Chain A
């Protein structure tokens, strides 16, 4: 990807990563004003109110769940996992793009990350928050979920570290913590900026506290950069490990359709795939609403489209290998499951998945499509749906028809399943709304750096 900008057709001036004519002051002003001065529009308020309502639905769904029990969901024997786990994997996956953009692209010194990494990271945090909710509430006795943490219990009982679910607990909590640290460290100089530019007392106080007295001295910056670089270096393997561990939930099980070694790589690819889709879903409306087209340029969108195309192809390869291995291994259970996906009662889901995740993204081969904002937006939605379907196919279909034909069953979600899922969508979007108005959605200091470098014409990448 680092060669993207060079591969542009010769004679064609590479368009800049930032609209020409911006100065340190102008970028600072434009971005910080969204937080500090811009009044709350009716649109924002209406949207927020609506989303708040949806979050209340989530509360209701969880409340009823705790009162009645997981029986209010569609799960049964043999399908012990349903929407809850599907949503968990889906949300975690979405989170991955944020870390990828801010960490991996940082290491690869991709400047185009600058304008999107901040809210991509925010997206990560919120997605992980939504994801983390599910493993907790899907248990039969959520109030006992703390059993999963290694604490010295009076009975000397400890968790069982061979279980992928315990790996999840550590992976997800670590991922949440590190993402938060990474995000905060990135915010620190911008908080200082806001502190200095805030006119209203309470804003000054809040940002003053948050910025911790950042002065931007050379020594500060030195340590800051080394810490930031280290975090990026740590987050990169972390983000790969998290979805690997999530895929272990299935790969370690013996259920046909789960017990597959291809899972870790293709789960990670899938995660990035859906993550970038979600970044687009968020970035396109946001740049419009807050006039940030100058910072999140068409070129950024195209770049992300390319990433989606690449990861989409990896995912497609994963699907293919799954089938290939089923038949190549000759394992009768795997073969049977493969056929079930094509002909079983849930076949429509599988075909829908192929359509969303493999066929649609092929349009991205065309520059026209990659640079058509509307098309990209629609496609991002389609891919998000497709990735959700992928998890449904893996979690549910595999369980419906496993080893004992006598125990075969089927699954259909109840209204409470849907309420919980929609509820988390609402929660996620509501948090994004708050973030956009509460914190600089684009890293100001990094934008200044970008201005600096552009003004000195060292375009591209070092």
Chain B
């Protein structure tokens, strides 16, 4: 099927309220669909659970970034002040650790913040200029006031006719095929 010039990515149903979308998503999952994705103009509580997404690595990576930053920060200062460039500065001890705390703290925060943002983008696979859903004309409303549910073609239970009918049965206002051009 990869021979096909343009292949099917999934079908997409449009809803006008978050509640409808949430209900629809739930029932889609109950109907046994696995590869389901919902698109909303603002975060809707419970939606990610509904599409079966529970755990994200962002917090863990942030923690790692923070620890990394902090350790680098103190390490650098200790190495500079006590090992590689030891100087008698106003009679203060070489390892004036209390004086090293501020920089250590700042670098901890810096490391954590950068990791938080980068990992969020990376896990979301952003930047990603092209995505099949953009091919749907009405999808531009997804960033304003419309709510979309997309059941993807790779889902074993997926069948174009069946799935479309199923979405209509959930009172989707519009149901579109999502084409993936290559």
Contact = CB atoms under 8 A, between A and B. Distances in A.
Contact of B129 (A156, A208, A449): A208
A449 B85 contact: no
Interface in B60-113: 62, 66, 76-77, 80-81, 84-85, 87, 89, 92, 96, 99-100, 102-103, 105-107, 109-110, 112-113
A217 interface: yes
A222 B39 CA distance: 12
A416 interface: no
Contacts of B114: 177, 181
A166 interface: yes
A445 B41 contact: yes
A6 interface: no
A182 B76 CA distance: 27
A216 B143 contact: yes
A24 B121 contact: no
B27 to A, nearest CB: 15
A160 B89 contact: yes
A216 B39 contact: yes
A170 B74 CA distance: 13
B53 A219 contact: yes
A161 B123 CA distance: 37
Contact of A195 (B81, B133, B143): B143
A213 B131 contact: yes
Contacts of A222: 43, 48, 53, 56
A189 B143 contact: yes
Contacts of A23: 145
A208 B128 CA distance: 10
A452 B144 contact: no
Contact of A230 (B80, B112, B123): B112
A156 B59 contact: no
Interface stretch (A237-245, A367-375, A401-409): A237-245
- By secondary structure, the B interface counts as helix
B131 A215 contact: yes
A158 B114 CA distance: 25
A384 B127 CA distance: 41
A214 interface: yes
A215 B112 CA distance: 25
B87 to A, nearest CB: 8
B80 A158 contact: yes
B53 A218 contact: yes
Nearest to A210: B127
A288 interface: no
Contacts of B43: 221-222, 224-225, 445, 449
A8 interface: no
A162 B127 contact: no
A262 B168 CA distance: 66
Contacts of B77: 161
B119 A227 contact: yes
Contacts of A234: 62, 66, 109, 112-113, 116
16 contacts: A150-B80, A159-B80, A161-B80, A162-B81, A167-B102, A170-B107, A192-B143, A213-B128, A213-B131, A214-B143, A219-B124, A221-B47, A223-B56, A223-B124, A226-B59, A452-B18
Q: What are the nearest 4 A-B pairs in CB distance?
A: A24-B145, A212-B127, A227-B120, A222-B48
Interface of B: 18, 25, 37-44, 47-48, 50-51, 53, 56, 58-59, 62, 66, 76-77, 80-81, 84-85, 87, 89, 92, 96, 99-100, 102-103, 105-107, 109-110, 112-114, 116-117, 119-121, 123-124, 126-131, 133-134, 140-145
Given A156-B84, A221-B44, A226-B120, 9 more contacts: A159-B80, A160-B87, A162-B89, A167-B106, A170-B103, A192-B143, A197-B144, A209-B129, A223-B120
